Structures are given as C-alpha cells and as structure tokens.
A and B are shown apart, each in its own frame.
Chain A
Amino acid sequence: DTEVTQTPKHLVMGMTNKKSLKCEQHMGHRAMYWYKQKAKKPPELMFVYSYEKLSINESVPSRFSPECPNSSLLNLHLHALQPEDSALYLCASSQARGYPGLAGGANTGELFFGEGSRLTVL
C-alpha cells in the first residue's frame, strides 16, 4: 500500500473560520510533509515532521498550525486565513533519514503524495 489519504478533498471557509486538513499514511513512514501549490506553480514546502517532531518550518504564517499526533497522522489546522491562502494543499510521506529500508533494502527516501485538499478562502 503506497497510499497517502487526505481529507477533505475540497474545503470552503470564511476568514474567521477554524478548520483542519487531515493526512494519513500506513506505509510506516516517519517523515511527513505539507506542501502548498498555487495554480501552474510547483509545490512549495511548508512543514516537515521527522519522527513526529517538527524539523522544518519554511517561515509559514502562524495562521497555519501543523500537528503530528502519531507516526501515521498529520494535521494542518487553519485559522483566520486570507483569500490568498486559497490553494491545493498536498501531504506527502517518506521514510526518514536513519530509518532502515524495507526487507533489508536501502532507504530510498522516496516521497509519496496524496491527492490534495483544495482550499478556498472567501
């Protein structure tokens, strides 16, 4: 199973709302990522969790709050967003550095992405 599942697929929220995006993987990966993608642009890294600890924050505004409750789940809490935050939010996972590969093989660090959550902020 190489699946990363994101919910919801679509979300419309007002600027005063509080909502959350959810991501789940069951590949035993210990690194999880949030990316933001605007139309016709490549994905931009927001956060990386490695072994359930925040290891990279790409200077993301505090209205985005990540959470990694366990090794399979990653949340992105949203509060007081702006219309310019409307985008496709992608979750990804990979095996973390220092973790052994499957069946004794090498840890390739390959990233697997979910289908994304399309966020519209009104």
Chain B
Amino acid sequence: KQEVTQIPAALSVPEGENLVLNCSFTDSAIYNLQWFRQDPGKGLTSLLLIQSSQREQTSGRLNASLDKSSGRSTLYIAASQPGDSATYLCAVKQGGSEKLVFGKGMKLTVNP
C-alpha cells in the first residue's frame, strides 16, 4: 500500500528565504507525482506535475524534482513571499490506477 509522507508538518520562515519542501513515498511504481497548494477553505491548485520518466519540472519560482528509486520528491521555492503562505500537498498516482494518494501536507507561513 502506497504511503506518502511530508515532513515537517509546518514551517514558518521570514520573507526572502529559499525553501525546500520534502515528500517521500514507499512504492516507486508511480505514474506521476503532483504538488498542490491549498489556501484555507479553498480547493487545491496544481503547482507542478512530474511524470515517472521525468527528473524535474519548473514553473516560475518553483522547481520540483523526483528521484523515483529513492522514493523522494522535493519542491524548491525561491525567494519566498508572504503570498506563498498556504498548505502544500504532495500526491502520487500509482501505475495501473486512477487513485491519487496524498501526503498530510505542510503548512507554510512566510512572514513579512
């Protein structure tokens, strides 16, 4: 059974710092890995998707990497801003299934 872990559960940083968010998963037979952002009471916004054959994806100040063999992904946020404050969720889709398995998320607070 796939398990996805995000540590730490919460992080508070001053504005301007470069951040690394970690995600680990137990079963390397994944189809893709997706990073989401969720603001309080809102839906999930897709940030980056990495397919199983890819090593990284970039969008603006965000960069996500994937190391399937070690079961790890990282989301790098450059020059953090207060507007980046949200909960960040990592999720993996298994090969052969439409099911997306989520980590418990990491609540990020960026202080001005």
Give the interface of A toward B (CB within 8 A). 4, 6, 31, 33, 41-43, 45, 48, 50, 55-56, 88, 90, 92, 94, 96-97, 106, 108-116, 118
Contacts and interface: CB of A to CB of B under 8 A. Distances in A.
A110 B45 CA distance: 11
A90 B46 contact: no
Nearest to A49: B98
Nearest to B96: A97
Contacts, number: 61
B43 A113 contact: yes
10 contacts: A31-B98, A56-B97, A56-B99, A92-B44, A109-B31, A110-B32, A110-B34, A111-B100, A113-B36, A113-B45
Interface residues of B, number: 23
A55 B42 contact: no
Interface in B38-62: 41-46, 49, 51
Nearest to A32: B98
B66 interface: no
B51 A111 contact: no
B93 interface: yes
A111 B104 contact: no
Chain B CB count within 10 A is highest, among A92, A113, A114, for A113
Contacts of B44: 43, 90, 92, 113
A111 B46 contact: yes
Given A113-B43, A113-B44, A42 B98 contact: no
